[in-house]
Amino acid sequence: NAGVTQTPKFRVLKTGQSMTLLCAQDMNHEYMYWYRQDPGMGLRLIHYSVGEGTTAKGEVPDGYNVSRLKKQNFLLGLESAAPSQTSVYFCASSSIQGSQETQYFGPGTRLLVL
């Protein structure tokens, strides 16, 4: 199993450009998440999904959109990138099995917006 993978690993954008980050998991997990990590702030939840075809806003959703058309994929879109979106983005997935939920993280995508 590859676990959780993220594409791309690193990207540089100019202000106003758009891009999509792809997250894929092969563990058949129901839940998927997108976080951003900024220095001194831990991880903040952008959007999450509790199943195929469903998405919900997290703590910092503005400027981002997501889609979960397939259970194994969770896409994060930036329609018009801003320098404030320079960050490291982590995708995670989890599955509820009784009370044994655990998140599994991808390796991260470093995004620089100039």
Residues near another protein (CB under 8 A) are 31, 33, 35, 40-45, 48, 50, 58, 90, 92, 94, 96, 99-108
Please identify, using beta-carbon distances, which residue of 3 and 83 lies nearer to another protein.
3
Beta-bridge partners for 43: 37
CB of 5 to another protein, least distance (A): 11
User: Which residue type, as a one-letter code, is found at position 32?
Assistant: M
Question: Which is nearer to another protein, 26 or 79 (by Cβ)?
Answer: 26
- Does residue 83 have a cis bond before it (omega within 30 degrees)? no
Number of helices (H), then strands (E), in the chain: 0, 11
In the numeric block, which tokens belong to residue 73?
A: 């994929």
Q: How far is the CB of 112 from another protein (least distance, A)?
A: 15
Strand, coil or helix: 82: coil
> Shortest Cβ distance from residue 56 to another protein (Å)?
9
In whole angstroms, the minimum distance from the beta carbon of 96 to another protein comes to 5
